[in-house]
Amino acid sequence: MNLSSHLLESAVKEFAQLPGIGKKTALRLVLHLLKQEESTVMQFSETITRMRREIKFCKNCHNIADQDLCAICNNPSRKKETICVVENIRDVIAIESTEQYNGLYHVLGGVISPLDGIGPEQLMLETLSGRAINGETKEIVFALSPTIQGDTTIYYIRKKLNNPQLRFTTIARGISFGGELEYADEMTLAKSIRNRLPVDSYLQ
Amino acid sequence: MNLSSHLLESAVKEFAQLPGIGKKTALRLVLHLLKQEESTVMQFSETITRMRREIKFCKNCHNIADQDLCAICNNPSRKKETICVVENIRDVIAIESTEQYNGLYHVLGGVISPLDGIGPEQLMLETLSGRAINGETKEIVFALSPTIQGDTTIYYIRKKLNNPQLRFTTIARGISFGGELEYADEMTLAKSIRNRLPVDSYLQ
| Cβ pair B5:A96 closer than 8 A | no
B13 and B48 part of one domain: yes
CA distance B144 to chain A (A): 19
The reply to whether B30 and B74 lie within a common domain is no
Using CA coordinates, name the residue in chain B closest to A25.
B20
Residue A117, burial from CB neighbour count under 10 angstroms (0-12, 13-18, 19+): exposed
The alpha-carbon gap from A26 to the nearest alpha carbon of chain B, in Å, equals 11
Minimum-distance CB partner of B41 among A32, A52, A96 = A52
Report the DSSP beta bridge partners of residue A86: A107
| B66 conformational bin, left if phi > 0, alpha if psi -120 to 50, beta if neither | alpha
Q: Is residue B203 a part of any domain in this protein?
A: no
- Among A66-75, A130-139, A176-185, the minimum mean pLDDT is found in A176-185
Q: How confident is the model over B78-103, as a mean pLDDT?
A: 92
Establish if B33 belongs to a structural domain: yes
B87 and B162 co-located in one domain? yes
Residue A195 included in any domain: no
Q: What residue in A sits closest to B1 (Cα-Cα)?
A: A97
Cβ(B1)–Cβ(B20) under 8 Å?
Answer: no
Q: What is the pLDDT of residue B15?
A: 96
Where residue B164 falls among pLDDT bands split at 50, 70, 90?
A: confident
Give how far A1 is from chain B: nearest CA, Å. 6
Q: How far apart are CA B107 and CA B180, in angstroms?
A: 32
Interface of B with A in 163-202 (CB under 8 A): none
Last residue of a domain, one of B31, B54, B77: B54
- Grade residue B37 by pLDDT with cuts at 50, 70 and 90: very high
* Helix B23-35 and helix A89-98, axial crossing angle in degrees, nearest 10: 150
Segments forming the whole domain that contains residue A121: 78-171
Ramachandran area for residue A7 (φ above 0: left; ψ -120 to 50: alpha; else beta): alpha
Contact A49 B45 (CB under 8 A): yes
Q: Do B47 and A11 touch (CB under 8 A)?
A: yes
pLDDT one-digit tens code per residue, B171-184: 888 888 777 888 88
Å from A142 to nearest chain B CA? 20
pLDDT tops 90 at residue A179 = no
Q: What is the pLDDT of residue B1?
A: 64
Shortest CA gap B50–chain A (Å): 8
Which of the four pLDDT bands, split at 50, 70 and 90, describes residue A163? Answer: confident
Q: Provide the CA B28 distance to its chain's centre, in angstroms.
A: 30
Of A33, A42, A55, the CB nearest to B5: A55
Q: Which residues of B touch A97 (CB under 8 A)?
A: 1-2
**Distance (Å) from the alpha carbon of A134 to chain B's nearest alpha carbon:** 24
Whether residue B59 is contained in a domain is answered as no
SS3 label, residue B119: coil
The percent of residues in chain B predicted with pLDDT above 70, rounded, is 98
- Across the interface, whether the CB atoms of A30 and B18 are under 8 A apart is answered no
CA A196 vs CA A101, A140, A169, A173, A201: distances in Å: 22, 22, 16, 10, 11
A20 in any annotated domain: yes
Burial track B9-36 (b if 16+ CB lie within 10 A, e otherwise): bbbbebbbebeebeeebbbbbbbebbee
Cβ contacts below 8 Å, chain A against chain B, sum to: 155
pLDDT band of B61, cuts 50, 70, 90 = very high
Optimal mutation site among A48, A96, A101, interface B, most CBs of chain B within 10 A: A48
Q: Report the C-alpha gap between B147 and B154 in whole angstroms.
A: 11
The pLDDT, as a whole number, for residue B204 is 65
Q: What is chain B's mean pLDDT, rounded?
A: 90
Give, in order, the Cα–Cα distances in Å from B147 to each of A52, A53, A162, B173, B174: 46, 48, 72, 11, 13
In a domain, A178, yes or no: no
Q: B204 in a domain, yes or no? A: no
Residue A63, chain B, CB below 8 Å: the answer is yes
B142: domain CATH number?
3.40.1360.10
Nearest CB neighbour to B48, from listed A21, A25, A45: A45
Do A42 and A118 sit in the same domain of this protein? no
Is residue A75 within 8 Å of B78, Cβ to Cβ?
Answer: no
Query: B43: domain CATH number?
Result: 1.10.8.420
CB contacts of A3 in chain B (<8 Å) are 64, 93
Record: contact B21-A29, CB cut-off 8 A: yes
Report the length, in residues, of chain B: 204
A34 and A109 in a single domain? The answer is no
Report yes or no on B1 lying in a domain: no
Tell me if chain B has a CB within 8 Å of the CB of A21. yes
* Ramachandran area for residue B52 (φ above 0: left; ψ -120 to 50: alpha; else beta): alpha
Please state the φ and ψ torsions of residue B86, each to the nearest 5 degrees: -125, 165
- Number of domains chain B is built from: 2
* A4 neighbourhood in chain B, CB within 8 Å: 63-65, 70-72, 92-93, 96
Q: Does the beta-carbon distance from B51 to A34 stay under 8 Å?
A: yes
